[in-house]
Each structure stands twice: as C-alpha cells, then as structure tokens.
Amino acid sequence: MRYALCVMRFFMTKNKIILTICLASLFGLFAGVVGALIAKVYIFNEIPYLEPINLSSDNYSRSNLIIRGAKKVIVSQDIKVEEIINSTYNSIVGIFKKNADNYYQLNNEIESGLIITSDGWIIAKALPENSKNEDFIIITRSNEIYNIDKIIKDKMTSFDFIHVQGVKDFSVKSFSDIQKIKNGQLVMTASWKNENYLTSIAGRLNNSKLVKSSDSFSDELVLTNNFNETKDLILFNLNGQIVGLRDKNNIIRPITHFQSAIQSLLKNQKIQRPILGVYYINLSDIISKDIQYKKGAMIRKNNLGISIIKNSPADSAGLREGDIITTINNTELNKNNNLTYIIQNYSAEDSVTIEYLRNNEKKKIEVKLGAY
C-alpha cells in the first residue's frame, strides 16, 4: 500500500513538471510572436526587406557586394540629388542675344553661364569673336534681366568671363579641390535648361605628351556618360561644389583650370596667369631604371628642344635641365599634385619657395612667378 502511494505521488509530481514546462513554452512562444510584431510595426517599418540583397550573381562583373536596406539607400540618394539640384539652381544663368523688343523665350538661350562671384562675374563658353557688351543680356532664375558691362576672353581655356551691372548678391557655389576629384566619384550635370543627370567620373585624361609645360594644362575629366546631346554641361559633386565645365570642343575642364584667372580678374580686372617657364616630366607617371626618384618634376627638353624658356622666372632663378623639383612652398609634387597644378594655383607675380635636387644634392631657391 505504501509502495502504491509513492508511485502515485511520483506521477503527480512529474505531471506538474511537464505541465509547468508546457505552460512556460507556450507563454514564451506567445511573447516571441508579440515581440516580433511590435518590432516589425514600430522598429523595422522603414526597412523593406529583412534579408540582405545580394549582388553577387553572374549578372554583375564586380566583386561580391551585399546591400542591406537597398530601398532606403536609393531613396536617400534621390533626396540628396534633389537637394543638390535645388542648391545649385540659382547659381546658373542664361545668356541671351539681345533683341529690340526686349522679351525673351527662356528656352532660347545661346549659352548657360555659371556665377562665380556675388558681385556679378559669370563664366561661360566663349561667345563669338568681336562680341560687344550690348549684344547680349543675362537672365537669372528669378527672371531678372541684367545688362553686360564686360566680356573678358580667356584664350587658354576658350571661356569668357562676363560681368553684369549692378549686382551684389548673386548666389555662388564653392570650387572642388583637385585632390578631391576622384575616379568613380558621383557628380551631377546642370544647365540653364535643367538638364540634370547623375553620373560619375571615369577618370582624368592627360595628353599623350611625356614632356609637359608648367604653364598650361593638359588634362581633362572623362565621364561614364558622354551626354553629347547636352549643349551645356556644368558639373557639381554631391556636396554642391563645382567640379568642372565643358568647353566648345566638348572637353570637360576641371574647375581648378580657372582659379588663377579668377584671382587675377578680381584683383586686376584682367586675366593674368602665373608663369614659371619650364618643361618637365612628371616622375610619378613613368617607370625608369635610370631614375631613382619616383616623384617630382624633372626638367626636360620638349619636342622643340626647349627645357627652360629664356628670360623666364625659372631661367632667372638658375634652374637647369635635369633638376628635379620636389616641393613648391612645402607642397610635395606627386601623382595627384603635378607641377602645373601647383603653379597654376598661385597668382601672377607671387613669390614661391622651390626645393629641388641637382646631382642628388638638395637645393632651395625663391622665385617670383611671371605673368602672361
């Protein structure tokens, strides 16, 4: 009898344990379901997919890439592009042929112009030779009409600098630094006709000449799209900074090509660019067993047999063929900073300190840049 009672107590205790486990599991499952629903509704409502999107299939030639929340990324990019369009909108003007009736159709501009100073300086592709101020007018985004009082031609870049009368508050965008213009960088096109496209920089193309001039540019930007159907093209990065302009020969010039001209324009009301007066090889662009240095500008004869222009600042300072210029005002010359870019970031008649190597010996000189 006692044995039977012990057996009954054992099974009753065991049933209670099983019942407790079952109830705990049931409540745990219920809590998990409720928690998932709350998370889905209140926390992950903005995430379209709980699983990542894998772009590693055979349809993609690049390395495997996994994007989580892809829809959110695309929406954010769209918002960013819209912000850039809005922020750059007022920095572009239309240039129109002046007519006697003094009314204009806004889609009949002859060029788009980019505002570069708040007091009325604009840069645009070169107008016809012998153009007069009174031949054209400027129209802003707010449909205000301005007369032109100056047209200054920049023969180096085939662009015109145009000034309009009576302006003090034009909207101006900053320039992108040349070192921040990278391959693959997203950029946006803009024009008077609002031809806005998102594209990217495929590269910076240099001319095929090995020997370059310190006083003229030889590079251009290349986009992943040609946009040949777009008459005017102004490039902005995703920070709203100006990256480049396309000229009448469809060459996209980095905005840094214009910096020294603009500085001169504001200071002297005319375009003067700095001159050093050397021809050189950028050592970062070549491989040679005979040259131990991998960066710098080695002064070298061009195809006309000229290494240093006679009576130039370089000539007066005593630079020679074979000298390797390593720094300008402590800025190192390298693949991203060639001699031309560094010199052209200064103004005419600026003084600079040049460090160079001659027969492996370090030397330093002060040079006052010329003007042309």
The residue length of the chain stands at 372
Q: What integer pLDDT is reported at residue 35 of this predicted model?
A: 61
pLDDT digits (tens, 9 = 90+) for 329-342: 999 999 888 999 89
Q: Any idea where the domains of the chain sit in the sequence?
A: 178-267, 274-371
370 — pLDDT class (breaks 50, 70, 90): very high
- Reported as half-sphere exposure (CB side, CA atoms, 13 A), residue 340 has a value of 19
Residue 34 has pLDDT above 90, yes or no: no
Region 129-144 average pLDDT: 94
Q: What integer pLDDT is reported at residue 68 of this predicted model?
A: 46
Which is nearest to 104 in space by CA: 115, 114, 94, 113?
Answer: 94
Residue listed under structure tokens 């012998």: 130
Highest mean pLDDT (candidates 5-9, 35-39, 323-327):
323-327
pLDDT digits (tens, 9 = 90+) for 36-60: 555 554 544 444 343 443 333 333 3
* Residue 111, both tokens: 């060029």
Cα–Cα distances (Å) from 140 to 63, 137, 171, in that order, read: 46, 10, 10
Q: What integer pLDDT is reported at residue 362 of this predicted model?
A: 96
Amino acid at 190: A
Residue 85 has pLDDT above 50, yes or no: yes
Residue 1 has pLDDT above 80, yes or no: no
Cα–Cα distances (Å) from 303 to 75, 165, 271, 307, 364, in that order, read: 53, 46, 28, 9, 28
Q: How far apart are CA 273 and CA 251, in angstroms?
A: 20
Domains 178-267 and 274-371 in one fold: no
**Taking the C-alpha atoms of 75, 79, 84 and 90 in order, what is their torsion angle to the nearest 10 degrees?**
140
Q: What integer pLDDT is reported at residue 37 of this predicted model?
A: 56
Which is nearest to 187 in space by CA: 234, 253, 236?
Answer: 236
Residue 139 has pLDDT above 90, yes or no: yes
3 — pLDDT class (breaks 50, 70, 90): very low
Whole-model pTM: value is 0.73
Mean predicted lDDT score pLDDT of the chain: 83
Using alpha carbons only, what angle is made at residue 78 by residues 72 and 82, rounded to the nearest 5 degrees? 145
- Residue 301 CB contacts under 8 Å (≥ 6 apart), including other chains: 211, 279, 307, 321
Q: What integer pLDDT is reported at residue 61 of this predicted model?
A: 35
* Residue 264, both tokens: 């001169």
Q: What integer pLDDT is reported at residue 102 of this predicted model?
A: 86
Highest mean pLDDT (candidates 177-186, 253-262, 302-311):
302-311
182 — pLDDT class (breaks 50, 70, 90): confident
- Reported as half-sphere exposure (CB side, CA atoms, 13 A), residue 24 has a value of 6
Q: How far apart are CA 113 and CA 111, in angstroms?
A: 6
Query: What percent of the chain is modeled with pLDDT above 90?
Result: 51
Q: What is the CATH number of domain 178-267?
A: 2.40.10
Q: Are strands 66-67 and 53-54 parallel, antiparallel or unpaired?
A: antiparallel
Please report which residue ranges of 270-321 form alpha helices under DSSP H: 313-317
Cross-strand partners of 256: none
Q: How far apart are CA 364 and CA 34, in angstroms?
A: 75
pLDDT digits (tens, 9 = 90+) for 296-321: 999 999 999 999 999 999 999 999 99
Whether 370 contacts 350, CB under 8 Å = no
Region 207-224 average pLDDT: 87
Using alpha carbons only, what angle is made at residue 329 by residues 269 and 123, rounded to the nearest 5 degrees? 30
**Taking the C-alpha atoms of 187, 189, 190 and 193 in order, what is their torsion angle to the nearest 10 degrees?**
-160
Q: What integer pLDDT is reported at residue 291 of this predicted model?
A: 81
pLDDT digits (tens, 9 = 90+) for 267-298: 888 899 999 999 999 999 888 877 888 999 99
Q: What integer pLDDT is reported at residue 63 of this predicted model?
A: 37
- Which CATH architecture best describes the domain 274-371? Roll (2.30)
226 — pLDDT class (breaks 50, 70, 90): confident
* Residue 203, both tokens: 């590269």
Cα–Cα distances (Å) from 359 to 171, 201, 284, 297, 337, in that order, read: 52, 40, 19, 14, 23
Q: What integer pLDDT is reported at residue 54 of this predicted model?
A: 39
Phi and psi of 78, rounded to 5°? Answer: -60, -40
Least confident of 15-19, 175-179, 327-331: 15-19
Q: How far apart are CA 66 and CA 46, in angstroms?
A: 19
